[in-house]
Every structure is written in structure tokens, then in C-alpha cells.
Amino acid sequence: MEQILHVGVDVGSTTVKIVVMDNDLNTIYTDYTRHFSDTKNTVCNVLQKLALDYPEANFTIALTGSGAMSAAKFLDLKFIQEVVSCKRSVEKYIPQTDVVIELGGEDAKIIYFDKFIEQRMNGTCAGGTGAFLDQMASLLSTDTAGLNELAKNHNTIYPIASRCGVFAKTDIQPLLNEGARKEDIAASIFQAVVNQTISGLACGRPIRGKVAFLGGPLSYLPELRNRFIETLNLKEDEIIVPEEAHLLVAKGAALDSLDSKPITVEKLKSKIQVLKSSVDTTTEPLPPLFVTGEEYTQFKARHEKAKVETNDLSTYEGDCYIGIDAGSTTTKLVLIDRDGKLLHSIYGSNEGNPLKSVIKMLKELYSVLPKKAIVRYSGVTGYGEKLVQTALNIDLNEIETIAHYTAAKQFMPNVTSIVDIGGQDMKYIKMKNNVIDNIMLNEACSSGCGSFIQTFASSLNLSINEFVDEALQSRRPAPLRFSLYSIYEFKN
């Protein structure tokens, strides 16, 4: 008898999931892979492994998920909207469900199963999703599994914003600085996700009855699930955690593929080759940053003209001055001479502890400071200015805007505008008659800031330096929506 296998592929915002069922709809194979925004090649690899593992079988295949539509088009395979896939699985495997709460890498959903199915989904921001949790975990020098372990032993829940990473980090940083237990911060991050999901999606509609928890984060992070259960005051018989909850949508796609015409292994292989060689034509690429190498050379030459004058620290004698910028994600330290020339500079991540990073940099500075160089005065600015000043007895603290203006006018005495992009914030400072006339600061999102670039680079499995090199060499930059987690829109 001919073996027909039924395959569902869920191409999500951060992962690709595959489920293979036999003729009796028993699951015989599953896989869960991060695609690092390379969805096309990851889908090809997943399907190639399927063809290799089942060389004698025929397949019915359906794709679903936020990143599946383009792949399904090139593969000429059935595409099912993910809510439909979810509905199919819920009706077959957990028909008693009244409400589904599903968290993915960059999306969150609440689906009400009543007389009519109603879906509530996050829009332009991925605050409170898996990508958000990844970013918050890095602040505690761990991963999401580490967050879960920490949260098991929490005592206190702190209020933490989750609408955007910039607000969450701004809440978490002072807690770390003040010595709050990481266990409590981890549980508070989970609670922030719960608050964001319930307030942002349910919008006042009650979550009642039997509630099913789906998606990777709610499957792998039981402490996050527990925060939902406690907040919603769910009883034991109202909690549904299906087996392999993170694969339920892929299972729905496999079920939906049943009415598709089976294809052979050879036909599947030819479809994979079409996808491999496919080129997206639905978007118009942007112009490259530099059309020729000469343009880039001219750019660097132009910008290298504005440089701080330097002096040799090893032979310096006399008064010198320390400046510290305790920023949201990095710490900067400089030593200048009496004429404002740069003697020494250090730049590095604060690793979630600005005071510790400043102390480390000061020790490094004093290890190379000549005996006849005398530190006469010190100043600090940035997010952690008051903490650093109080802890280390720094002479002067200055707000960032004044520090920016003071530095800018050294290069351009008649400066009228300053643009600053930091780890979590960006500013536009307007000057008029040599005084600050207006300041504009990002408020609702940290898109375009350093943490945005860092998160984007990590999602592509690149370091910052590699990310920059790729951008400089790109010939067809893709137009992306400029929101904090728009990573899934990346096109190769």
C-alpha cells in the first residue's frame, strides 16, 4: 500500500516547525528550528530532511504562519492562515477550549471560541512576546530558560513596562542598580508579559472558561504560564496545556493538507529547488548605502576630519580630568588634559551594572596613568550619573543634553542641531541663540536605537561588526517597517 504522509509546516516569526502524520493521523516526526530570519533556506532544509528521511513516501503538505505565504507561493503548496490552522487543531485535540492564549517569537494572540471565533492579535510592536523575553533575559546575563529557573524562587513582583523594550529596560536597570534579586526581576518580567497580553489584547473582554496555552514561550516556560494562571485566577480544571503545545498550529496545517493532492518525493525535491532559486519581487529594494567603493572612501574621509585632538598619556605631566558617561547600555570614560586634548578613552558594555563597569574602567585607567599626571577634577553624565557620583564621590554631575551641547560646540561653535542615538533612546536637540531651544526624545518605542540594532544583528546570527559589514556591502537593501521587532520582514 502506498504510504501517504501528511505534513504541516509552521513558518513563524522566529522559528520553523514541522509535523508529519501517518495515514492514521498519528504524529511520527516533529522538528522545531530557529531560522534567524533566513526563512527561505530554513524551510528548504526542513523539507529536504523530510524527503531524505521518507524516500518512499508521498506527501500532502500545507504551510501556515506569518512567514509562510511567500514560501507557499514558490513551492506551489497550500497555504492556510494560522488562525484557521489553530482552529483545526483546537477542535480536534482540545475541543473543550473556550479561550486560547498563544505567544510566539514576535506575535501574541488571544482567540475566543464561542458562537463566532474572534482573534485579538498584537499589531506594530512585539512587546511581551518571545523576542521581548530574549532581550530582557540578556539584561540578566541569561536566556529565557534561565529566566524561568530564576522566577521559580521569586518573592516580590515589581512593576515593569512591557509595551516596549526601552521602557522595560528603563524599569529593570534601576532595580539591578539597587540590588534587587534577579529571581524577583525574572518573575516581574513574566508578569509584565501577562499584563501586556491581557490589557493589550483582551481589552476588557473577560478571559473565562477553559483556557489553552499555546506557543513556544508558554510551552517551554512554565513560570510564565503560572503568572497567567495566577493573574486570571484559573482553577485547575480550567487550565489546558496540550502536549507539544508549540506544534499545535503546525498540526492544524497537517490536518488541513488532507484534501490536497499527494506529491512524490521527486516532485517535492523539484519544488524545493524552485524555492531555493526564488527571488522576492513583491518589494522594491532601496538604493545601497554606497554604490561604489569610492563613495565609501569619500564618506570616511569626510567624517574623519572631525576628530578630537589627542596627547600622549605615557609622557604626560600635570593636571588632567576624567569624564564618564554612564549610559543605558554602555559606559564611556575619557581622560583629557588641561587643553581638552584626549589622553585616554575606554568604551564598553555596562553588562547591566553601570557602577561595576565604571569601577572596572577606572582601575584600567589608573593602571596606565603616569605618576606625574594628576587627576584634578571629574564629571559624570548619563542614565547612571547620580548613582556613580554618589558611589565614587565624583565632583560634578551634568544632564546629558548640556553635556552633548558642550561637546558639540567644541567642534562647531555655531551648532544649531544635535542628533544623538544611544542604546535605548534617541534625541534631537535644537539650539537657538546659543541655548537649548527644544529637545525631542523617543517615547513609545526604542526602534532605531542601539538595542534595536543589537537585537536585529543577533536575530540574524551576526555580531555588530559583521552586521555593519553586511550593510555596507548590500546591493539590494530591503524596505522594513521601522518597529522594534520587524525582523521577520527581512528578505534575503
The pLDDT of residue 487 is 36
Retrieve residue 286's grid coordinates: 532601496
**How do residues 463-492 score in pLDDT, each as one tens digit?**
888 998 888 888 888 776 544 333 333 333
Retrieve residue 335's grid coordinates: 581622560
Q: Which amino acid is at 311?
A: N
Query: Quick one: DSSP state of residue 201?
Result: I
Q: Which of 82-96, 204-218, 281-295 has the lowest mean pLDDT?
A: 281-295
**How do residues 63-73 score in pLDDT, each as one tens digit?**
999 889 889 99
pTM: predicted TM-score of the whole model, two decimal places: 0.67
Q: Which amino acid is at 231?
A: T
Confidence of residue 293 (pLDDT cuts 50, 70, 90): confident
Q: What CATH number does the domain located at 304-398 have?
A: 3.30.420.40
The pLDDT of residue 373 is 95
Answer yes or no: is pLDDT of 272 > 70: yes
Domain with CATH 3.30.420.40 in the chain: 4-89+250-276, 95-241, 304-398
Q: Look up cell 525631542; give the residue.
A: 440
Class of domain 95-241: alpha beta
Strands across the sheet containing 78-80: 27-34, 15-21, 4-11, 58-64, 78-80
Answer yes or no: is pLDDT of 105 > 60: yes
Rounded to the nearest 10°, the torsion over CA 161, 166, 169, 171 is: -40
Largest CA distance in the chain: 91
Let me know the angle formed at the C-alpha of 11 by 8 and 17, rounded to the nearest 5 degrees.
55
**How do residues 146-178 score in pLDDT, each as one tens digit?**
999 999 999 999 998 776 666 787 788 778 867
Answer yes or no: is pLDDT of 75 > 60: yes
Answer yes or no: is pLDDT of 295 > 60: yes
Confidence of residue 315 (pLDDT cuts 50, 70, 90): very high
Rounded to the nearest 10°, the torsion over CA 363, 367, 370, 373 is: 0
The pLDDT of residue 130 is 80
Q: Which residues contact 216 (CB under 8 A, 6 or more apart)?
A: 15, 32, 103, 104, 105, 130, 246
What's the rounded Cα separation, in Å, for the pair 74 and 343? 58
The pLDDT of residue 233 is 94
The pLDDT of residue 417 is 94
Q: Does domain 4-89+250-276 have CATH number 3.40.50.620?
A: no
Could you tell me where the DSSP H helices lie in 442-488? Answer: 450-459, 464-473
Query: Quick one: DSSP state of residue 310?
Result: B
**How do residues 382-396 score in pLDDT, each as one tens digit?**
888 998 999 999 999
